[in-house]
Structures are given as C-alpha cells and as structure tokens.
Amino acid sequence: MLALDHVSKYYRKPEGVISALDHVSLEVGAGEFVVVQGPSGCGKTTLLLTAGGLLAPDGGHVLVDEREPYDLPSDERARLRGQKIGFVFQQFHLIPYLTVLENVLAPSVAVPRKGALERAKELIDRFGLSDRAGHVPAEISTGERQRTALARALLNRPVFLLADEPTGNLDPESASVVLDDIARCAESGVGVLMVTHDDVAKSHAHRIVSMSKGKIVP
C-alpha cells in the first residue's frame, strides 16, 4: 500500500503562503491504477513527488509499503525509492550519451541486483525496443524514449509506479501505446499513481481522483 495521510505542503512567498497540498489523504493498493487529474498548479506534481519520497511534506504522513520514507536518513530513503518505486516523467530524463540498453540498466548502479542485464533485455523486448537497444535517445522517436523510460522504471521490479504526465510529449498513437503498457504494469500487480491532463488515461484507470487548489475534491 502507498498511503498519504492528511499530507500538507506549503510554500512561503512574498505574497503569502501557498498551499500546494492541503491535508491530502490518498491510498493506492497493489495492482491498482489511480489517475489524478486537475488544472495546472492544483498540486498534482507536488502530490506525486511527496508520495515518492522526493519532497518532504510539512505535515501528515506518507507510507510506502508500510514504511515512512521521511523518517529515514537520506541514504536509506534513496534505497527505499530504488527498491520500491519506479518513476516516469514527461521529459523522459534519459542520459543522452547512453544507449537504450544502458539507460534501462542505469538503476542497477544505485541498487545492484542479480540478473539486471537479463531483466533489462526482457523489458526492452517487451516494449518493442529490441532493434533500438544500441541507439542513443537522439536516434529514437519520442514514443520510444518514453517506453525506454518506462522500462528503466521497472528494472528493479518496483512495488509502485509513479508517472507524471507520461503522455504529455507524445502523439496520440504513441500515447495510447504507453498507456497500454502502464495498464499492463497494474495488471501484473504494480500499484500505479499517475498525474495527467490526458483524458484518454481515464479509460485505463481503476479510479480517478480530482484535485483543485491543493485538495482532493469530489
């Protein structure tokens, strides 16, 4: 279970305090595909970063597979992320001078696992990238870059997949392929939390959560 319990995050600006998250509670179970939607600036990305152990909240609690990441030292928190959570971002964040295979293998540097190379090749094949394994990101399409990023996120067999606008830079056909791939991750037992503006994602989700002004709304 990935759980946020009355989580708040505030930013102090000259014009006053901005409430990015206002006592947000949300749970994502194993194999559940949850989509969070809302206008820009409503707190979706802050929610995702906080859930993933990347942005400490100012109040409330976060549990990742029954552990509170923000109670851990930074190195242990990073290890928890590497073992339990896979991230997919709109901008891909691939290393430009590494090949597709090398990019997929990158998480194994921080969290070494036996059989990482075989796992990477399996994922590359699953996502239809076998003939691109030796190419660098500049030599493949945007859809292939996002599928490479998704394969990288799954290398260490995470319990949860957190996706921030994963189809934002894709054409409709590529977006549909990536959404199908993410849906299959949920079918395999991975808990998926996705924030997106993409209405097509609704057809894949088990549950849709709406946000406005830092709050979850009906």
pTM, to two decimals: 0.90
1's tokens: 């279970």
Q: Rounded to whole angstroms, how far apart are CA atoms 117 and 123?
A: 10
Q: Running DSSP on this structure, what letter comes out for residue 71?
A: G
Supply the pLDDT for residue 40: 87
Supply the pLDDT for residue 97: 96
State whether residue 1 is helix, strand or coil: coil
4's tokens: 């946020």
Cross-strand bridge partners of residue 4: 26, 62
Supply the pLDDT for residue 82: 87
For the chain, how many residues are written? 218
Encode the chain (218 residues) as per-residue pLDDT tens digits.
899 999 999 988 888 888 999 999 999 999 999 999 998 889 999 999 999 999 999 999 999 988 999 999 999 999 899 889 999 988 889 999 999 999 999 988 877 778 999 999 999 999 999 999 999 999 999 999 999 999 999 999 999 999 999 988 888 888 888 899 899 999 999 999 999 887 888 888 999 999 999 999 98
Q: What is the CATH number of domain 2-217?
A: 3.40.50.300
Supply the pLDDT for residue 13: 83
Supply the pLDDT for residue 28: 96
Spell out a b/e string for 167-202, using b for 16 or more CB atoms within 10 Å of the CB, else e.
Answer: bebbeeebbbbbbebbbebbeeebbbbbbbebeebe
Domain boundaries, the chain: 2-217
185: enclosing H helix or E strand:
helix 172-187
Supply the pLDDT for residue 140: 96
